[in-house]
Each structure stands twice: as structure tokens, then as C-alpha cells.
Structure 1
Amino acid sequence: MSVRILALVGSLRAGSHNRQLAETAVKLAPEGVEIQIHEGLADIPFYNEDIDVEGAVPEAAAKLRAATAAADALLLFSPEYNGTMPGVLKNAIDWLSRPYGVGAIGGKPVAVVGTAFGQYGGVWAHDDARKSVGIAGGTVVEDIKLAIPGSVTRFAEVHPENDAEVTGQLNDVLARLVKEAGAAKA
């Protein structure tokens, strides 16, 4: 069975630890699993029904919707900004939730993970993202949780792919998400 997972990274920063975590997931993908990191979240305009018109949807939003429609599951990587998820991630969820009732995210298994500087690793942001995704129509896989604290110090000199604890946890996340995606396809 082939499984396609679309990864959305909520940090736009060039040296983002969440981006590094997503890149690590790509490398750890088991055989038969393709993980694609979606590029272009920064290019998507803020959601506005006035510009979400059939045949005239902004190109970056249309690409996100198409990539999501082609995926079997989504894996969101979120830092924590001021106690919640970054606006770029919330905006992506908003675009994916529309058109109402038939958005691209509808029924897709979704997991939220990530790393943040704080002592809890971004759990508030992850909880908010799960809530938003669930309301948007995604099937949140509640038991998949990975919040890595102290990102600035933990990954100062070690890339996540070289942290055995992180790769072990990320492997578990991927195995569970692949299982959910397979069940959703059946």
C-alpha cells in the first residue's frame, strides 16, 4: 500500500527547527510512504471569501488545496508563537476548510507535532491547531502527539535527524499516521 503524507510547516524562518523536523520525517519515511513538504505557505493570501471564487482562487491557495486533495494524510509541524499556532498555519487551515462542507481537508487523518523554545514544546499551539483542523473537517489523530521543548538549545548544534530520541519518536508518529491513513483509504 502506498501512502502520501503532506507536511505543512508553520514556521517560515530559514533555519526553522520545525522545518528541520519535517525534513527528518521525509528521510525517515518507511518504504511505500511519500512525505512531501508543501512549499509556498508564505505566498497564500489571508483567507477572504471575496477572493475564494471558483475559477479565480489565488494560485498558491489552489496549489495547497490540490496537494491536500492528493494526500492521504496531513502532518502539521508547528512552533508556538505567543501561546498559539503561527498565522501562516491557521491561514492554510482556513483555505483548506473551504468551500464549506467540501474542503480539501475533509476526512483526512491529520497529526500535529513540533518543537518550540518553551518548556512544553508548543503544546498550546498544537492543541489549537488540532482544534482548528477538527472544526475544518480534518480527522484529528488525537493520540499522535510530539512536542519537543527547548528547541533553541536542543538543536543548536544537533540537527533533529541526529537526535536518536527525536528520530525514535518521529518514527512512532509516522507509523501511527500511516496506519490511520491506510484505515481511511480502506
Structure 2
Amino acid sequence: MKNKSNYYIGLILVIVGSAAFYNSVFLNGFFGVRNLWPLFILLPGLFMEIDYFAGDKLKGRDPGVLIPGGILTGMGTFLLLREFLDIIPGMTGPVMIAVTGAALLQYYVAKPKDRGLLVVSLALILIGVLLGISRYTGELPVWLTAGSLTSLAVIMAGVYLIAKKPQEYKDSTYRPRDSENQKKSQ
């Protein structure tokens, strides 16, 4: 496990060192801190993701590391792309909401116990996408009204209740007697 982590860290260092070498030889500043500052967000997230998935056996690993790893990886990727592409500055908020939903979804896939987390993650992704569309087009979709949002909330609540597993009754007051207990009491 440590050998794989060291391999990936070494690979990242080679890439960063190569970019710095290119920058110093050609003196154009393309790979400078001014352009590549999102790597300070992206690389820790990638390290968390790689550290979780690099092991041969995933048993014993805490999948909770996937939430901050997913958020840092998603936001670092978005901010790095924003440095080199012309992306609307107002898209950061919707992307952050959708990335948080995707990180929660990744955690749910790794540890599928709470179905409510699935509903919340899908809702966050949907909200982020809808806000991103509204920021990109400059207006909300025609069908997105208070009534449609209320009905979507009711649908999501219904999906949550359908997907929720019934709790086991551990401390039930009713306990059926077996035949031995009945014979002893007589």
C-alpha cells in the first residue's frame, strides 16, 4: 500500500518538477504559481482519493476520507480549468454545490448504508446543475417555479421514505415464548 502511495506521490512530484523546469527554461511563466495555484487544492484531494483506492483490500479503510477528497479534487479541477479556459465567474457557487453532492455520492457508493445520503447527494447535484444552467443562460428555466420546486421536494421526500430501510426492533416488549419456557413456567 505504501509503495503505491509513494509511486503516485513520486509521479506527481515529477510532473510538478517538469512543469517548473519548463517554466525556468522557456521563461514564459505559463507554469507559474499565478496559473497553477489550484494545484494546492487539487493535489491533497487526489492524494486522499488515491490513498483510499490504491490498496489491494479496501477493508479497514475509512470511506469518510472520500468526502473531503472528492470536494478538494472537484473544486481544484474546476479552479484549474478556470485559470486556462474562459468560464463564467459566477459558476463557482453552483459547481461547489454539485461537487459536494458528487463527493457525498462517492461516499454513499463506498458505504451504502444510509439511503438518505443518496437522496441528499442527488438533490445537491440537481440544485448545482440547475443553478449552473441559470447562471449560464442568465435566466431560470420556464418550468422552474415555486410549485415545481415544492413538488420536487415532495417527490424527494417520498423517495427517501421509500428507500429508507425499516429499523430493527431491538428492545421490543413483546417476546414470544418458546416451548421450553412454557414448560418451565407450568
Q: Same fold (TM over 0.5)?
A: no
Higher helix share: 2
- Bigger RCO of structures 1 and 2 (CA < 8 A, at least 6 apart): 1
TM-score (structure 1 length as normaliser): 0.31
**Radius of gyration: which is bigger?**
2
TM-score (structure 2 length as normaliser): 0.31
Higher strand share: 1
